[in-house]
Amino acid sequence: MIGLMQSPLGSHKGLERVELERGLIAYRCPETGGHWIPAENYWRWQSTQPVVELADDPPPSEVPVSEFDEVVKLCPESGTVMMRYRVGHGRYFRVDRSRTGGIWLDGGEWEALKAGNLHLAIHRIFTSPWQKAVRHQVLDETLQTQLRERLGEDLLTRLLALRKELAVHPHREAALAFLHGG
């Protein structure tokens, strides 16, 4: 049984017990709308959910990044500092995880995860392969932004289409040699 827990945000009000999804008990901050999901509650609920393959590119989320995204948060259960993990996959916010395994989501983040079925696999966000993929995604987006500024939108769009086509073309090397010889 979890005792009275305080929100890691705002004026640290007491968290209110809610059923985030059928069978998933969480604790909501009445001030910010954030949610604390204790590890045992998440795993119990997650084990009852169907196995869903995540799309390589789920639809991006329109949820703005929370004003609290960069705030260091303390675990409502243990009082220790939580680690932040980038979600990626079209979501530009971070989720916080405690040493206890519990998860803090700022207001609106559960809905954003749910929109891409990522709520069924929050635990995967904390893995090295997931975080490595997110870092590659961020680097690729940064490179594309720089190229867009230098080359313009039209040329970059054509180059990206050509890159995609050449990736599977049987004579890729010949095409690249031709382009390089320019």
pLDDT for the residue 2: 58
In the predicted model, residues of the chain with pLDDT beneath 70 are 1-3, 54-65, 182
Alpha helices in the chain (DSSP H): 39-46, 109-115, 122-125, 128-151, 153-167, 172-181
The predicted-structure confidence for 2-34, as pLDDT tens digits, reads as follows 568 999 987 888 999 999 999 999 999 999 999
With a CB cutoff of 8 Å and minimum separation 6, the contacts of 182 are: none
pLDDT for the residue 53: 75
pLDDT for the residue 51: 83
Backbone angles phi, psi at 136, to 5 degrees: -65, -40
Task: Please give the distance of CA 50 from its chain centroid, rounded to a whole number.
Answer: 20
| pTM of the entire predicted model | 0.77
User: Exposure of 58 by Cβ count < 10 A (0-12 exposed, 13-18 middle, 19+ buried)?
Assistant: middle
